């Protein structure tokens, strides 16, 4: 009787082991299927956010191209083309979404120092003084760029010995444009405008006019007794577009550099650079 009980116990254990193995295999199969489904879902979400970002970029390109025909004489972010594509962050059924456009010609183009004039050199000295930086750095930058030519980014000057703190102070007001261009008075910041005009009162009056109406004209400068500064204008052909798109478990932040051409009968918007600055699954909120 005892032997039979032991034998029955062994059989029971074997049955339980078999059941456990079968259950484990079933769980593994279900888990594998769920993992596969998750991978497919994540890939689908990633494809959706990429298409949303690309579609938003195409809308900006199209708007900038239309603007060359509709209003080529002035550019500012209160124009219909800009208002039609700029979107502050909103929540959509897919997730968050935003489109921001930055006028790159709102800053002084340091690449002009590759072939500097006396006026440009004097302007850079005055800007450095306004930023509490050594004005002699203007001569240093002029020598560097005279030797190496144009640069891709302002920070590239650190390689040639320009102090990091000076470059950090310059960064809000100075850039390295991918194309030749003047500073757009419709988007330039107040400090840079003041340095350009060499008159704080004129700059303040023009900023008030621009804030109330959205843009400036040559008549506005004349009305305050100011002349249009060297290296300034009212148009822009270089922009940065920052797009955020989110869907399901995927999110993407895409940054694009766009330039326009409007010469010799050729009107075009070119994509110079596109990079994804953020592409990580996000945890959906409960």
pLDDT in tens, 41-93: 667 777 888 888 899 999 999 999 999 989 989 999 999 999 999 999 988 77
User: Band of the pLDDT at 282, cuts 50, 70, 90?
Assistant: very low
Query: Can you give the pLDDT at residue 11?
Result: 54
What would the two tokens of residue 240 be?
């940065």
The string of pLDDT tens digits covering residues 116-157 is 889 999 999 999 999 999 999 999 999 999 999 999 999 999
Q: What predicted TM-score, i.e. pTM, was given to this entire model?
A: 0.81
User: CA 70 to CA 56: how far, in whole Å?
Assistant: 21
């Amino acid at each position: 009787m005892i032997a039979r009980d032991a034998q029955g116990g062994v059989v029971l254990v074997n049955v339980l082991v078999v059941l456990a193995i079968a259950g484990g295999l079933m769980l593994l199969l279900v888990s594998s299927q769920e993992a596969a489904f998750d991978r497919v879902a994540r890939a689908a979400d990633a494809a959706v956010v990429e298409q949303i970002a690309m579609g938003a970029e195409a809308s900006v390109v199209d708007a900038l191209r239309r603007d060359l025909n509709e209003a080529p004489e002035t550019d500012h972010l209160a124009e219909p083309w800009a208002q039609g594509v700029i979107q502050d962050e909103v929540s959509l059924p897919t997730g968050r979404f935003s489109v921001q456009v930055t006028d790159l010609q709102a800053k002084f183009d340091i690449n002009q120092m590759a072939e500097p004039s006396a006026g440009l050199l004097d302007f850079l000295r005055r800007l450095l003084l306004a930023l509490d930086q050594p004005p002699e750095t203007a001569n240093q930058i002029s020598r560097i760029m005279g030797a190496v030519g144009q640069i891709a980014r302002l920070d590239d000057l650190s390689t040639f010995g320009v102090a990091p703190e000076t470059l950090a102070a310059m960064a809000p007001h100075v850039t390295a444009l991918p194309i030749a261009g003047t500073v757009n008075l419709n988007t330039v910041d107040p400090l840079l405008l003041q340095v350009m005009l060499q008159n704080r009162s004129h700059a303040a009056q023009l900023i008030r006019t621009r804030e109330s109406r959205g843009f400036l004209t040559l008549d506005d400068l004349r009305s305050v007794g100011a002349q249009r500064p060297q290296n300034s204008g009212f148009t822009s052909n270089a922009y940065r577009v920052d797009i955020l798109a989110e869907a399901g478990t995927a999110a993407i932040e895409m940054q694009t550099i766009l330039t326009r051409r409007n010469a010799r009968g050729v009107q075009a918007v070119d994509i110079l650079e596109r990079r994804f600055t953020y592409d990580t699954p996000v945890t959906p909120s409960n």
